Amino acid sequence: MKLILFGMPGVGKGTQAKILAQKHGAVHISTGDMLRANIQNGTPLGTMAKGYMDKGELVPDNLIIAMIEEVLSSAKAKKGYVLDGFPRTVPQAESLETILWRANVPIDKAINIVVDEEEVVRRLSGRMTCPNCGAIYHKYNQPPKVENTCDSCGHVGLIQRNDDKEETVRHRLEVYHKNTEPVLQFYRNKGTIVDINGAKSVEEVTTAIEQVLQSARA
């Protein structure tokens, strides 16, 4: 499975990427998770990225591209990958073409998960994540089995992301329309992108993505 997941903030890219990567033995490559790990570990990249992320702005392309190139060129990416949150600008998409060509790991498909903006704001305002393993929950849609405790790793103390405040979410949506929508057109011109309805249950969305991949292979 060599897949790119697109969509506005909060459509469920991370949720789907984790399920698909685990099920199909692929590596989940989330630029957001990688940046948050850098912030948590106090690296120079994390220090540079934090200001942009807290404001809902994009981190500069050169920092992101260097980070992605390293992981896509690794041996584990050869077995399959799910890209989540990258590319987000046209220069990132153009660089990705070169990186994938050099590493000889071309994509099977790009999937655009479509959900309306008000639903996205509702989803993000109720999102909780595990700071230990990155598992994603929602207060109402997908609560953990035991309150405030991660089902996956048992960590107690789920957190709300800094950038999930409504005002910041609305700004992230503006940034998405300005910088990331042109990337969809880039893939539409290449004929590699398929839209799927993300306003269904998590399981139904996973099935819809798998069906697209199956028909791409047929």
| Active site amino acids | 13, 88, 127, 161, 172
Measured from the CB atom, is 168 or 218 closer to ligand AP5?
168
Do residues 158 and 152 lie in contact, with contact meaning Cβ atoms separated by under 8 Å?
no
* Integer Cα distance of 10 and 56 in angstroms: 13
Q: Is 213 in the site for ligand AP5 (CB under 6 A)?
A: no
**CA pair distance 24, 186, nearest whole angstrom:** 27
Instruction: Pick one of 2, 4, 12, 110: the residue that binds ligand AP5 (CB under 6 A).
Output: 12
Q: CB of residue 18 vs ligand AP5: minimum separation in angstroms?
A: 8
Q: Taking a C-beta distance cutoff of 8 angstroms, is the pair 19, 129 a contact?
A: no
Helix (H) or strand (E) holding 101: helix 90-103
**Is the Cβ of residue 56 or residue 77 nearer to ligand AP5 in the bound state?**
56
Q: Which of 172, 183, 187, 196 binds ligand AP5 (CB under 6 A)?
A: 172
- Total residues contacting ligand AP5 (rule CB under 6 A)? 36
Dist CA 102 CA 112 (whole Å): 25
The C-alpha atoms of residue 120 and residue 13 are separated, in whole angstroms, by 12
- In the region spanning residues 93 to 152, those forming contacts with ligand AP5, defined by CB under 6 A, are 123-124, 126-127, 136-138, 141-142
CA 103 to CA 162: how far, in whole Å?
Answer: 35
Interface with ligand AP5 (CB under 6 A): 7, 9-15, 31-32, 35, 52-53, 56-59, 64, 85-86, 88, 92, 123-124, 126-127, 136-138, 141-142, 163, 172, 201-202, 205
